[in-house]
Amino acid sequence: MQEITGLFKIAEILRGILGHFLPDPQLVDICMSLINIGAIFTIISLTAVVLVYTERKVSAFMQRRSGPNRVGPGGTLQSVADMIKLMAKEDIMPAGADKWMWILAPILLFIPAAAVFVVFPFDNKAIFADLNIGIFYFIAMSSQSVLPFLMAGWASNNKYSLVGGMRTVAQMLSYEVPMVLSILGIVMLAGSMRMSTIVAAQQHTWFIVLQPIAFVVYVITATAEINRAPFDLVEGESEIVAGPFTEYTGMRWALFFLAEYANLLAVSVIATTLFLGGWNGPWLPGWVWFFLKVGGMIFLFMWFRWTFPRLRIDQLMSFGWKVLLPLALLNIIVTGIGMYIYEFFS
Amino acid sequence: MVGKGLLEGMRVTLKAFFNKKETLQYPEIKLTMPDRFRGGELKLDNEKCIACGLCARACPNHVIELTTGTDEQKKRHLKSYVYHSGLCLYCNYCIEACPTNAICWDKNYENSRYFKDELDVDCLAISKQKSATVDVAPADKSNAEQEDTLKRREKDE
Amino acid sequence: MLKTETFTLNMGPQHPSTHGVLQVVLELDGETVVQAIPHMGYLHRGIEKLAESRTYAQFIPYTDRLDYVSSMGNNLGYCQTVEKMVGIKVPERAEYLRIIMTELNRIASHLIFMGSLAIDLGASTGMMFGFRSRERILDLFDMACGARQTYTYIRFGGVSADIPSEFIPALQRFLTDFPAMLDEYHRLLTGNEILYHRLKNTGVISGQRALEIGLTGPALRASGVDYDIRKVEPYGIYDRFDFSVPLGQVGDCWDRYIVRMEEMKQSASIVTQALEQMPEGTVMATVPKVLKPPAGEVYHSIENPRGELGYYIVSDGGVNPYRLHVRRPSFINLQVLNEACQGLLIGDVVAVLATLDSLMGEVDC
């Protein structure tokens, strides 16, 4: 089973080449780590560029428009142009802002968004750090993104931002609980929190077949976690202008944006890994399957965004606590009983 | 069932995703304006104008400023005719008031300008210049219009 | 000692969803609205005063600029008022054309309502769809009078010009497509559970209170009061058509939404009937060039998409109105905002504003 294919093979070849030049195997390891880090950051920054373009195209197509089509062939360079524009923009800090908190917020938001990429299994063995608590690490890191939102909201010295920041805390904290519980079902089935083990366990049956309720709960909570419509109350454009982002301009604002799309990719990757069998799939190489599935998940999230209206904050909370949480708990009970029965008969 | 409406809505957007686009790519494709389109700037035909001033009087917003004079045969003629397009309501009253059909719209809807004073159009000068350079039979109005738009397009390109 | 206090949030005049330049001063207790005071006047142009220095006919283009998404209705109301003063009889064909145009304009206006409600609630695709269909109607208007928004089509004694030959086929095409379009919106928005829960039981206005405050139009009918000027006091030739007036029960945002969606269907049916009955003939009565209504005063009101649009004109026998006042439904409907919003959340203020469908051009006049 463990034949060397795909991304891991590329890494092996690279390692071989480096081995020729560097005498010390430790140096080779360090170099490989640096290359991996570079690859992850490339993925994150490319993600934002590609996903912004995709989002605009998807939204345009769903509204029967043609979307960006001026810069580059088919408008593909539009987000590059936007990035350049954002970099050139004036950096405005509101009077009365809490300076350090205000500056730190977008940076602190970006760090956990980037850090979760460490545990993503892009292909068989193509994983930066195959921690034995991979899922746990992901949940722990992604829950860090609550605080920067509140920091940005508080430090901006703007009432819209503050309302947005408070909404974030309420929303993200309450949706984290059912999300964790929905993932728990998978962990029970796979018997491990290690990403590679979970993917390997799905070689024959994807967990979406065994855990459909968990999948639905996960998709809903993930949408809320990354603050996308119909749960985009944090930004809530028509209500609170842009929430915590209201006072940010230029690159600082772009960092929020980058983190948002990195998070979108992150939850899609986790959905693929946990429910859709990761890199498993016939004929095509593993990483192609992986990115196809991730792309499908991203399309699903975009599809939601461009179809649904936004929920209200009280509805959001009651839906999270009164519907999703019991559903996730029920799923765990059913999974437990099912596993017990399965073991009893086999 | 709860959620059925959500799925139905998703079906609508997915269908729209694969449907034909409804928008036009503006600078390349331009809509043809209908015959009665009111817009752009006033076009004056100096030869038809009898300088009666009815257009200026019909205007609700004093958009047209004209002065008249009389020549040797005691015939009234225009001395100046300025159209302040920045004030225009595009109500068509001036054109309806004209007894000799001497004014019409130029049907050009791209009339944004960089400076405010460019919005004041000296229609009389344009009309005189046109009759001097382009030799078009006055009856063949639509043809002249087409040429005019063609020219403008060439200039743009 | 811990205590909480309310804070003030200025929503607008620069805000994505106040439909123009409305400022709502919100007094908030957390996210709960304690008070929502609308401040208007940012779009005031003094149109009523302008009328006093214009002749009667010259004022028609200014009525376009009141409620700029239903200008046909504004033209109609003003022209009928002046016709009432002078006593002009309008030719049959012109009467039918007026009905067709105003009812089409009602559909266009309600499509804007639907679109802006959708985007205020975060469903931007709904807005795009609404504006797309409205474009079809604007094309028809463009064909008939050469303008897409400020029509000045309806004049004293008739309409400015008969419709061109390609108008009727195009209108029939639109009427055939319209049920499918409406069905699409119902599937995208009306059936959506999120939208239902956002609108249901928010911003309730009781029928009694609505009457006290002077609400008119769909906002009043949503509260269950059967008052439609087209039925109560048929102006023009509305008594010849068979249509029903959709009513709500509770008077919440949902009812206001449903009433408007149903009204579109009724308007389409009126247009179909008018198209069948429309005779040939002239479209303009002989009207003196300079109109001098006899001294006196007159009030006439019509059912505009936003409610009762009334014109009150005082004449001193001269060529200009001595005084002209417009009863603008948006302005009067906006009064209820504070009451309807109390105790709701910020997100609901937007929904209430959108379903009251006040248009700032008309509020500020």
Please report which confidence band the pLDDT of residue B146 belongs to, taking 50, 70 and 90 as the band edges.
low
AA identity, residue A315: Q
Determine how many CB atoms are found less than 10 A away from the CB of residue C284: 17
Q: How do residues C20-79 score in pLDDT, each as one tens digit?
A: 788 888 888 878 888 888 888 888 888 888 888 888 888 888 988 888 888 888 999 999
Residues of C whose CB is below 8 A from B38:
145-147
Cis upstream peptide for C279 (omega within 30°): no
pLDDT of B154 > 70? The answer is: no
DSSP-assigned beta bridge partners for residue C258: none
Q: How far apart are CA C284 and CA C83, in angstroms?
A: 13
Contacting chains of A (3 CB pairs or more, <8 Å) are B, C
User: Which pLDDT score is estimated for C312?
Assistant: 92
Q: How far apart are CA A247 and CA A253, in angstroms?
A: 9
User: Taking a C-beta distance cutoff of 8 angstroms, is the pair C52, C322 a contact?
Assistant: yes
CB contact under 8 A, C164 and B9: no
**Count of all residues that appear for chain A in the document:** 346
Write the residue in C15, C122, C346 that is nearest to A232 by C-beta. Answer: C122
Mean pLDDT (whole number) for B25-36:
82
pLDDT of B140 > 50? The answer is: no
Q: Which of residues 87-146 of B touch C (CB under 8 A)?
A: 89-93, 96
User: Which pLDDT score is estimated for C285?
Assistant: 84
User: Which pLDDT score is estimated for C163?
Assistant: 86
How far, rounded to the nearest angstrom, does the alpha carbon of residue B95 sit from its chain's CA centroid? Answer: 11
User: Which pLDDT score is estimated for A310?
Assistant: 86
CB contact under 8 A, C125 and A239: no
Q: Which of residues 279-318 of A touch B (CB under 8 A)?
A: 303-304, 306-308
How many CB pairs (< 8 A) connect B and C?
A: 74
Write the residue in B6, B10, B17 that is nearest to A61 by C-beta. Answer: B17
**Closest listed residue to residue C289, CA positions, set B54, A117, A296:** B54
Find the CATH number of the domain harbouring C11. Answer: 1.10.645.10
Q: How far apart are CA A307 and CA B144, in angstroms?
A: 49
B60 in contact with chain C, both atoms CB, cutoff 8 A: yes
User: Which pLDDT score is estimated for A2?
Assistant: 41
| In a domain? residue B56 | yes
Q: How many domains does chain B have?
A: 1
pLDDT of C166 > 80? The answer is: yes
| In a domain? residue B152 | no
CB contact under 8 A, C60 and B92: no
| In a domain? residue B83 | yes
Q: How do residues C193-204 score in pLDDT, each as one tens digit?
A: 888 888 888 888
Q: How many domains does chain C have?
A: 1
Report the gap between the CA of A317 and the closest CA in chain B (Å): 18
Please report which confidence band the pLDDT of residue B155 belongs to, taking 50, 70 and 90 as the band edges.
low
Q: How far apart are CA C45 and CA C64, in angstroms?
A: 13
AA identity, residue C297: E
User: Which pLDDT score is estimated for B149?
Assistant: 55
CB contact under 8 A, A238 and C119: yes
Residue A313's SS3 state is: helix
Find the CATH number of the domain harbouring B57. Answer: 3.30.70.3270
User: Which pLDDT score is estimated for B152?
Assistant: 59
Mean pLDDT (whole number) for C122-133:
85
Of A20-24, A95-99, B138-142, C332-336, the range with the highest mean pLDDT is C332-336
Cα dihedral: C342, C347, C349, C355 (round 10): -130
Residues of C whose CB is below 8 A from B90:
147, 150
Q: Which of residues 17-36 of B touch C (CB under 8 A)?
A: 22, 33-36
Contacting chains of B (3 CB pairs or more, <8 Å) are A, C
User: Which pLDDT score is estimated for A246?
Assistant: 83
Tell me how far apart the terminal alpha carbons of chain B are, to the nearest angstrom.
Answer: 58
Least confident of B38-42, B71-75, C6-10: B71-75
Mean pLDDT (whole number) for C246-264:
89
Report the gap between the CA of B36 and the closest CA in chain A (Å): 28
CB contact under 8 A, A307 and B23: no
Both tokens assigned to A17 = 């080449």
- Split chain A (346 residues) into runs of 10 and give each run's mean pLDDT: 55 74 75 77 79 87 84 82 85 82 85 80 68 83 84 85 85 87 85 80 78 86 84 77 82 83 86 81 75 87 87 86 89 87 83
Which chain C residue has its CA at the smallest distance from A63's CA?
Answer: C125
CB contact under 8 A, C188 and A311: no
How big is chain A by its Cα radius of gyration, in Å? 21
Task: Specify the DSSP element, H or E, that contains C159.
Answer: strand C158-159
In the block, which residue shows the tokens 């809490």?
A98
CB contact under 8 A, C191 and B9: yes
Q: How far apart are CA A100 and CA C116, in angstroms?
A: 39
| In a domain? residue C1 | no
User: Which pLDDT score is estimated for B150?
Assistant: 54
User: Which pLDDT score is estimated for A128?
Assistant: 67
Contacting chains of C (3 CB pairs or more, <8 Å) are A, B
CB contact under 8 A, A62 and B23: no
CB contact under 8 A, C146 and B38: yes
CB contact under 8 A, A65 and B20: no
User: Which pLDDT score is estimated for A8?
Assistant: 66
CB contact under 8 A, C118 and A310: no
Write the residue in C132, C198, C345 that is nearest to A309 by C-beta. Answer: C198
Please report which confidence band the pLDDT of residue B147 belongs to, taking 50, 70 and 90 as the band edges.
low
Q: What is the mean pLDDT of chain B?
A: 78
Which chain A residue has its CA at the smallest distance from C192's CA?
Answer: A308
Structural domain including C85 reads: 7-364
Q: How far apart are CA C286 and CA C90, in angstroms?
A: 9
Residues of A whose CB is below 8 A from C194:
230, 308-311
Structural domain including B67 reads: 24-108+115-127
Report the gap between the CA of C3 and the closest CA in chain A (Å): 18
User: Which pLDDT score is estimated for B137?
Assistant: 44
Which chain B residue has its CA at the smallest distance from A68's CA?
Answer: B25
| In a domain? residue B134 | no
Please report which confidence band the pLDDT of residue B83 belongs to, taking 50, 70 and 90 as the band edges.
confident
